[in-house]
Amino acid sequence: MPASRPSDAVIGPIAEAIDAGWTKQVGFLRALVRQPSDNPPGDCSSHAEVTAGLLEELGFTVERHAVPAEVVRTAGMVSCTNLIVRRRFGDGPVVALNAHGDVVPPGDGWTHDPYGGEVIDGVMYGRGVAVSKSDFATYAFALLALEAIAGRLSGTVELHLTYDEETGGGIGPAWILGQGLSQPDYAISAGFSHAVVTAHNGCLHLEVTVRGRSAHAAKPDEGADAIEAMTAVLQALYAERRDFPQRVSKIPGIGHPNLTVGLVNGGINTNVVPDRCTVRLDRRMTPEEDPAAVEAGLRAVIEAAVAGRAGINVEINRVLLASPLRRLDGAERLIDPVQHHARRLLGEEVPVEGVPLYTDARLYAEAGVPTIGYGAGPRTFLDANGHRADERLVLSDLRVATEVVALAVAEVLATP
């Protein structure tokens, strides 16, 4: 055993503490699933209060940080309260454990109650049970387990439980860090229980509005057709993405850039030349790409597509810019113990890789904090039905992830 690895005197008490609290941990997660926190609409303060109450029942002191109403409205939400729990074991590094409690709405097709937290054959069902209310439970009970070896630790563990990941994280982790409420040295953010995530794609959302001039359909030459002009924009955008499959990232799991036009809206009536057409596009960026250059390039393509068309002008507004997650120096302090203990408990190789979606982990990395994604989530997003009907979590993954996180943090905070 390497000298840096915890001994049986550490592993045993942590495992015993997790086992002793297992029934309570499952009930904790079920209670979180049963309290809706759909975003949109993003009225999430009630879920934060339920979570805070559950944490206080476990003996934690919970800080409630309500985001100002005007800031919440600007983010497109109704209410948001971020929760912070701090446990200081002595002088040493600060490790933040971050997960989000807001979830996408359930949608149709469920065969289980999306707010039921039903358990069948060791699997819990419900919206958010895997993404990422599960890691509220992972991190809270990992911190509880560390109490069993408190005398061996030097440093601080913080829980950052936030509520705006589905709308970009700007009033969650970014707000906590920007307000100076926390200055962590390391961060673990919600992730996958069968991989250590060190990179993910970025995302750019643009809203493009082409404006023309209305006219009667009997005399279309008196107008300027905004939808016709928008078809040129769409053709240019689709041409732009044709070579994306050949631009594969060097980071395993990332894949290649993507571009999707997800919303189209325009026109006045069937017998009227349309004076407006609006689309929203989603551009996924690999960690190798520069977000500013990607945005500038797209704007140039869009503007060139309508240049010179009489009576036509175009407006381009950025809706969202989420930078890619890139691995920072120092992240190995988290990667190595997580990979070691996950491999030991799962009995399989645990890869270090990227994921094509984007997460709140990037916000810690942007602040200069070495960050990884790891938690009780699924082997793959599809396995868990993430963002789909019958979202599910294999509870044994929750048990493994809790021990892995506790032991990894124990290594970072080990008394010299």
The 10s digit of each residue's pLDDT in 230-267 is 999 999 999 999 999 999 999 999 999 999 999 999 99
Strand partners, 84: 63, 160
Question: What residues contact 328, with CB distance under 8 A and at least 6 apart?
Answer: 365, 368, 369, 370, 371
Per residue in 382-391, pLDDT (tens digit) is 888 988 999 9
The residue count for the chain: 416
pLDDT at site 4: 57
Amino acid in position 248: V
Contact between 68 and 91 under an 8 Å Cβ cutoff? The reply is no
pLDDT at site 379: 74
Helix pair 332-346, 395-412: axis angle to 10 deg: 140
Q: Is the pLDDT of residue 85 over 70?
A: yes
Across 188-204, average pLDDT: 92
Helix (H, G, I), strand (E, B) or coil at 39: coil
Q: What is the pTM of this model?
A: 0.92
Question: What residues contact 220, with CB distance under 8 A and at least 6 apart?
Answer: 273
Q: Residue 253, Cβ neighbours under 10 Å: how many?
A: 18
Strand partners, 204: 283, 321
Across 161-168, average pLDDT: 94
φ and ψ of 253, to 5 deg: 95, -15
pLDDT band at 2, cuts 50/70/90? very low
Contact between 133 and 8 under an 8 Å Cβ cutoff? The reply is no
Q: CA 377 to CA 196: how far, in whole Å? A: 11
Q: Is the pLDDT of residue 141 over 90?
A: yes
Question: DSSP secondary-structure letter at 251?
Answer: S
C-alpha distances in Å from residue 364, one per residue of 68, 87, 204, 238, 323: 22, 19, 19, 33, 11
- As given in the structure block, the two tokens for residue 300 are 């140039």
Q: Is the pLDDT of residue 155 over 90?
A: yes
Helix (H, G, I), strand (E, B) or coil at 395: helix
Task: Kindly tell me the burial class for residue 332, based on how many C-beta atoms sit within 10 Å of its own C-beta (0-12, 13-18, 19 or more).
Answer: middle
Q: CA 216 to CA 360: how far, in whole Å? A: 49
Contact between 216 and 268 under an 8 Å Cβ cutoff? The reply is no
Q: Is the pLDDT of residue 203 over 60?
A: yes
Mean pLDDT value across the chain = 96
pLDDT at site 378: 72
Contact between 179 and 162 under an 8 Å Cβ cutoff? The reply is no
Contact between 159 and 97 under an 8 Å Cβ cutoff? The reply is yes
